[in-house]
A and B are shown apart, each in its own frame.
Chain A
């Protein structure tokens, strides 16, 4: 294989459609006779449902149907558990999954109670007012600490408590480590992550064709194949009767992977009932409560160190808010637990978490998926330890990095993919060195910062390391097919939400088949084009599907060469595959175009030799044995106005290693976007709930996504340590940008305001000017 395109910043194939307004997004699907759906959602967080009367709504002109839970009959079933908990001995796990419409009880503000189908969305919303709901309010479980008191109300009546799960994992002997330690640093940390808030909300269109007995579903999902299989089973249809299409999706970042949302379950059923196409587009107000969140954890963590700063052990006990249901298993808290170990040698680790049910929207992974929480805790512990031991912040990190000869490095505990947490490859010190160099760490501390301080300016530096488990299994597949016109069609089962798969996969194919990436058409997210697959999550699209595409195109390449060698009656070694044709080396005039070979591979007459598959095509699957571990370092210099606490990021540096790179331009874009979301998480975005479980800032005017003025220019660099776990050597990168930003911000702000000299520590995220004011005032006086 040549590498003309692999590794090059090839411009994206998908851009033209998007730039001219021609790409098909979910709300662009228009079908004759289509009806529109609106959901009546609970206005209270916790209540018993006494009675719903929809009779007035049914009579409103323009309303076609109104359904409540009873109307679903046997179709009403709690969602299957989507992700099993890893088999960790001694764990408790109490699965409680969401229901299609609330029946006896509502468990969060926004939970759907009834569904209205009307001639337009305007009319459907009108009819929501006509529905009378009688509820008996219960006290809301909002605070995860109070939720565990025996006096607390219970989110699920049949459970004896609000414990959703309890998991203990350990390696080494922390007690012994602590006994040998020079110092032990122990603190309480609070880390809240927010909502993904893609600019496009969710949506579903379902179209039941009664004559053809075919169901077509357009869905903003990250996992179309699972949705097809699940809905087919629920609807009593064969999988071949259901086609799920994830069209262009306007950003996902995790919550669009959550499956069998009540709306996803409702729409196909309604379409079958009414025999008409139906559409539901989530509005922004709904999005704040109807799409899953990621939220908070409280960690009581301690670190034991030797006098030279070497980590002897870490102990952590944390609470995790899982929301009203835990359909997505333990993915988020397990990620927190595992990612806390970071790039460091931590001989002893003792970690226990309790996942807690609350009367708040469901928690599922959002970019980073719990990794932020773990990274924040370990990085802050190291900062505090460095200070106590009087070691430089960067130096204490360097001393603890896993050395390059220790890979694969087994961290022993179980990761979200059920495999032991093992780092496949890495070379951490150069990444740290590059980052320190790029930000000018020593120069800043020795020369620049003193000058700023003389001028009365509060400028500080922060630096944080992370690892990210990426590219987990189970598998993805791809079908690569050369067409008679010479263009190559590629289908995979994953969905895409802007990650540039149309281009990076095309680059892989182009190199294997000696064609231009623009001659490769990629289809993702259409279950009729590719039958199997898992989905786009956990930074796995490029790794897992990318390798499947590579194997399939390599197989096609072998076929093409075989066919051509038969045609020319020469050895395969004498053939060259380039510019869309196979030619004989040294005789450029003698060639066959790929398109022609494709035709020959499908002969009209004669026999296909036994053992030969017809068609110039191949379908291959790839399943990595375990996840590939990417790593990186972020560093920032920030300035704080000491009186208003407004923040300005003066510099932001990212150095990362995600193995071999398919398209550096696309990769950089992923990092930029991740950092921007990390900044939102660290300093802007906070879900403000009151003690009744009402979200007080459910609008984009009050839930603050960073703007172009809030995200600084980012300086990127990388190193390459290929993954041995896949032939392409790639590791995922989708989440790396977002993970360590909170840790960097807390450290840099502390430094800028010289808070440590005042014994003030920033042990929580998100921060804000107001919060900084409160923290500095409380403890300063």
Chain B
């Protein structure tokens, strides 16, 4: 389990990295945290001929607030830095729930948010968070830049909208709106494993405490993160009750089409996803009252 040979280049600037990627295209890979790429290379499932190490690009490793109500996270932010950023976790509480589910501290010390989203593992927590929160992904290439919505970014199993010369540079998340509660939950076989099913829910109430909106996204149950907002629509406009939550759970079970894997049958995934939807919405809703 040793990687095949490759040429290694430590990128000295963003432009340098992008120029190299433009030159080598699909033959080249960016090396961020390496926590997905290096295992794949050790198994020789990935055999890039050029590795562009972007760990020196400190400009990608920050957090800022471009506008009120938004947080922008650089692609090179490591999970552990996010975990330790109390203000960020308060603004985006889904991360507080989700980050501890990602692998283990040793991996979170290296893994980056940009690497995670670019890797686009459908069982990973963060793509579901991006979809639930309607994040915006900023993409750069030597030729220019563009921004895409999270829902358009994830194109398929381990596949994104990124072209062969492009890099994800940062992600902008909305901060949690007033009268909102958020919750992420998952079922995995062991702590730190990829999810058999996971749910990110954000519930927002209006002034009368009726449901104003529900954002809902799932991981582990499709080839991409699944936006299940549609299943929650019947809840909008009325009070959140046990029955209305059950109805959403039932809707989600119908909406998703998990494929099953060595750990779980498709039926079990569907069943658990529904149960997690119930629990996550309930908790998100409770958190609003607690905050109020």
Contact = CB atoms under 8 A, between A and B. Distances in A.
Q: Do chains A and B touch in the complex (CB under 8 A)?
A: yes
Interface of A: 121-122, 125-126, 283-285, 643-646, 684, 686, 688, 696-697, 699, 701-702, 704, 706-707, 709-710, 768-770, 773-774, 777
A702 B275 contact: no
A777 B267 contact: yes
Among B187, B262, B264, residue most surrounded by chain A Cβ atoms (within 10 Å): B262
Contacts of B1: 125, 283-285
B210 interface: no
B190 A709 contact: yes
A774 B269 CA distance: 11
B5 A644 contact: no
Nearest to A36: B2
B4 A706 contact: no
B268 interface: yes
Interface string B226-265: 0000000000000000000000000000000000001111
Contacts of A121: 2
Contacts of A646: 187
A653 B194 CA distance: 31
Given A125-B2, A704-B189, A773 B268 contact: yes
A696 B260 CA distance: 13
A684 B189 contact: yes
A121 to B, nearest CB: 6
A704 B190 contact: yes
Nearest to B1: A283
A709 B192 CA distance: 11
Contact of A696 (B2, B3, B262, B272): B262
A774 B265 contact: yes
B8 interface: no
A645 B193 CA distance: 17
Interface string B182-226: 000001011111101000000000000000000000000000000
A283 B191 CA distance: 24
B190 A769 contact: no
Contacts of B193: 701, 704
A769 B267 CA distance: 12
Nearest to A698: B43
Nearest to A688: B262
A646 B268 CA distance: 12
A293 B262 CA distance: 19
B90 interface: no
A702 B2 contact: no
B220 to A, nearest CB: 13
A702 B262 CA distance: 8
B44 A770 contact: no
B187 A709 contact: no
A697 B1 CA distance: 16
Interface string B1-35: 11111000000000000000000000000000000
Contact of B275 (A122, A644, A709, A777): A644
B190 A770 contact: no
Given A285-B1, A773-B271, A710 B265 contact: no
Nearest to B47: A129
A696 B262 CA distance: 7
Contacts of A285: 1, 43
Contacts of B43: 285, 699
Contact of A769 (B2, B194, B268, B276): B268
Nearest to A697: B262
Contact of A709 (B3, B191, B271): B191
A769 B4 contact: no
Interface string B171-191: 000000000000000010111
Contacts of A709: 190-191
Nearest to A699: B43
Given A773-B271, A773-B272, 6 more contacts: A121-B2, A125-B4, A699-B43, A704-B193, A707-B190, A773-B268
B263 A702 contact: yes
Contacts of B264: 768-770
A122 B44 CA distance: 11
Contacts of B271: 643, 773
